[in-house]
Amino acid sequence: MKAKTRKGSVIKSLIGIVLLLALSYVLSGLFLTLEDLLHMVGQNKASRNTELGEARYEELKASGIPESYDIYTEEEIAANSDLAVVKLYYFPCDGGETTDYAIVLPGGGYYECDIYKVGLPCAATLNETGYSAFVLGYRYGKYSSAYAPIEDLARAVKYITENADEFNVNTENYTIFGFSAGGNLAGLFASKDLGYAKYDLPAPATLSLAYPWININGKIELTGNCWQEAVTGVSQLIGNKFLLGKFFPDEESKAGVCVQNHVDADYPPTYIMQGDNDFVVPHKSNSDVMVEALAAAGVTYRYNLCEGVNHGCGLGIGTTAEGWVEEAVSFWRNTVENK
Report whether pLDDT(228) > 90. no
* Mean pLDDT (whole number) for 11-33: 45
- pLDDT value of position 312: 92
Residue 237: pLDDT band (50, 70, 90) is very high
Question: How many angstroms separate the CA atoms of 152 and 141, rounded?
Answer: 14
Choice among 9-18, 56-65, 240-249 with the minimum mean pLDDT: 9-18
The number of distinct structural domains making up the chain is 1
- DSSP for 140-202, please give it: -GGG--TTHHHHHHHHHHHHHHHTHHHHTB-SSS-EEEEETHHHHHHHHHTSTTTSGGGGT-P
- pLDDT value of position 234: 85
* Mean pLDDT (whole number) for 172-189: 98
Inter-CA distances, 96 with 82, 102, 125, Å: 35, 16, 17
Query: Cα torsion for 112, 151, 251, 220, to the nearest 10°?
Result: -30
- pLDDT value of position 19: 44
Choice among 115-129, 160-174, 233-247 with the minimum mean pLDDT: 233-247
For position 232, which CATH number holds? 3.40.50.1820
User: Is there a contact between 275 and 321 (Cβ–Cβ < 8 Å)?
Assistant: yes
Question: Would you give the DSSP letter of residue 99?
Answer: B
β-pairing, 101-105 vs 132-137, is parallel
Report whether pLDDT(25) > 50. no
Residue 82: pLDDT band (50, 70, 90) is very high
* Mean pLDDT (whole number) for 160-189: 98
- pLDDT value of position 209: 99
Model-level pTM? 0.89
164 lies in which domain range?
A: 2-337
Question: How many angstroms separate the CA atoms of 27 and 13, rounded?
Answer: 21
Per-residue pLDDT of 293-303, as tens digits, reads 999 999 999 99
Residue 24: pLDDT band (50, 70, 90) is very low
